[in-house]
């Protein structure tokens, strides 16, 4: 394959070479501190001001109920009234309360339609309480919805780009209640690895103890390292964690090949290896063309117009490359070069990796999404 063609295949594959095996990473990017976490919030509200793209009240009676409740709280009596606006939509509002969020702080919210509204573009979310898992109200959301899609509809066709029935409000929720968590009272805290691994946990233990020149950390399992905060000798827990989170380690990860069949994306880790194997990629093409001919009688002659079928059939073998051998211990770069030598397209690469794995020659975890 030529240089430009080879570059095109690489760009189409979106192949990412993960080289974590030789990179040092901060602890804050590898672990979560036990107790330092966000909390999910949920609310049910109403978006108003839509340009005729809201819920049909006849099909979404819950929209009428919430609209009536809001108007009655504002002193507007709508009991027994028949109103069917098309500029309102019932929505579910979700947000995450950040760790150590204080009253008066703000956080982003996501707004999603639950009725038959066609778009939330240009709408405004009316004051919506956001509840935690315990049922208490921790924040209140309100603001203009930013929708990322568009919808155009005519009498015979409708075109939709993106998801106009979902949007966000940056910093749209104000924190009203804080989560009680006394960090300064802790004497021990656990570090939870996002990707559990014995080797990585052992390195974290070693590097923390080396930094403090005493035994501060102890690995309890591949996903947990226990910290003795009292042994750090720091003036506060916050100071100790600030020092610990910037310690650098070299994480060890499993060799993985991740395949996304929908987009054709393939991601191979640096440690991926294969045994000696030969690969041939087929390029058989079946072609059927229908070119019917219309035959009409001569002018003023008796007869009728008929359609005479005409079919052209062909079989082509577009791949002229034979077997390509990948020797034992082949590295990532050699795998890519070998597949490109065969002129393999991204979709075909997925099938080849599956076949190599089925043959027992792929020494990595194959993840197909």
Are 192 and 143 in the same domain? Answer: no
pLDDT in the model for residue 205: 93
Question: What total of structural domains would you count in the chain?
Answer: 3
Domain boundary among 159, 175, 191: 175
Q: How many CB atoms lie within 10 A of CB 28?
A: 14
Neighbouring C-beta atoms of residue 48, cutoff 10 Å = 16
Convert 283-336 into a string of H (helix), E (strand) and C (coil). Answer: CEEEEEEECCEEECCCCCCCCCCEEECCEEEEEEECCCCCCEEECCCECHHHHH
Question: Which pLDDT does position 1 carry in this prediction?
Answer: 46
- In this structure, the dihedral spanned by the alpha carbons of residues 193, 197, 199 and 200, taken in order and rounded to 10 degrees, is -20
pLDDT at 159: 65
- Shared domain check, 205 and 152: no
User: Where a domain ends, among 193, 224, 249?
Assistant: 249
Q: Are residues 68 and 47 in the same domain?
A: yes
Parts of the chain with a pLDDT under 70: 1-22, 57, 59, 79-84, 149-161, 277-290, 300, 311-344, 346-347
- Give residue 230's domain range: 25-35+182-249
Residues 234, 139 share a domain: no
Query: CB count, 10 Å around CB of 166?
Result: 17
| Token digits of residue 23 | 């990179």
| Contact (Cβ atoms closer than 8 angstroms) between residue 211 and residue 203 | no
The predicted structure's pLDDT at residue 329: 58
Domain check: are 212 and 225 in the same one? yes
Residue 4 main-chain phi, psi, to 5 deg: -60, -40
What per-residue confidence (pLDDT) applies to 248? Answer: 92
User: Are 73 and 158 within one domain?
Assistant: yes
Q: Examine the domain organization and report whether 14 and 61 are in the same domain.
A: no
Q: E strands, 80-147, where?
A: 88-97, 106-113, 124-131, 137-144, 146-147
- Tell me, yes or no, whether 270 and 309 share the same domain: yes
Query: pLDDT tens digit string along 256-297?
Result: 788 777 777 777 777 777 777 666 666 544 455 657 787 777
Which tokens in the block code for residue 110? 């996501």
Residues 119 and 243 in one domain: no
Q: Same structural domain for residues 231 and 268?
A: no
Pair (171, 50) in one structural domain: yes
Last residue of a domain, one of 249, 279, 300: 249
Do 70 and 88 fall into the same domain?
Answer: yes
* Three-state SS at 264: coil
């Amino acid at each position: 394959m030529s240089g430009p063609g080879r570059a095109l295949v690489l760009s189409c594959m979106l192949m990412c070479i993960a080289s974590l095996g030789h990179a040092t990473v901060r602890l804050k990017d590898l672990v979560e501190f036990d107790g330092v976490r966000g909390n999910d919030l949920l609310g049910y509200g109403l978006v108003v001001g839509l340009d005729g793209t809201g819920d049909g009240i006849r099909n979404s009676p819950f929209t009428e109920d919430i609209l009536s409740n809001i108007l009655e709280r504002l002193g507007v009596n709508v009991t027994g009234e028949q109103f069917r606006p098309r500029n309102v939509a019932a929505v579910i509002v979700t947000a995450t309360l950040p760790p150590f969020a204080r009253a008066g702080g703000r956080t982003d919210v996501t707004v999603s339609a639950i009725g038959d509204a066609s778009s939330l573009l240009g709408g405004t979310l009316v004051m919506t309480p956001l509840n935690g898992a315990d049922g208490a109200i921790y924040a209140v959301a309100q603001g203009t919805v930013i929708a990322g899609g568009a919808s155009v509809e005519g009498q015979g066709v409708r075109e939709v780009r993106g998801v106009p029935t979902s949007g966000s409000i940056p910093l749209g929720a104000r924190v009203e209640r804080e989560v009680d968590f006394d960090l300064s009272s802790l004497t021990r805290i656990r570090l939870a690895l996002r990707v559990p691994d014995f080797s990585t946990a052992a390195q974290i233990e070693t590097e923390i103890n080396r930094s403090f020149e005493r035994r501060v950390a102890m690995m309890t399992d591949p996903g947990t390292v226990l910290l003795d905060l009292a042994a750090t000798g720091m003036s506060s827990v916050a100071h100790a964690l600030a020092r610990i989170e910037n310690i650098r380690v070299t994480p060890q990860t499993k060799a993985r090949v991740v395949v996304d069949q929908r987009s054709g994306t393939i991601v191979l880790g640096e440690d991926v290896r294969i045994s000696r194997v030969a690969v041939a990629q087929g390029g058989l093409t079946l072609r059927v063309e229908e070119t019917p001919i219309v035959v009409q009688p001569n002018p003023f002659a008796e007869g009728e117009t008929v359609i005479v079928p005409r079919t052209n059939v062909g079989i082509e073998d577009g791949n002229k490359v034979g077997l390509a051998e990948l020797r034992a211990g082949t590295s990532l770069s050699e795998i890519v070069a070998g597949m490109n030598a065969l002129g393999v397209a991204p979709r075909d690469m997925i099938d080849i990796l599956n076949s190599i794995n089925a043959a027992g020659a792929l020494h990595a975890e194959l993840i197909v999404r």
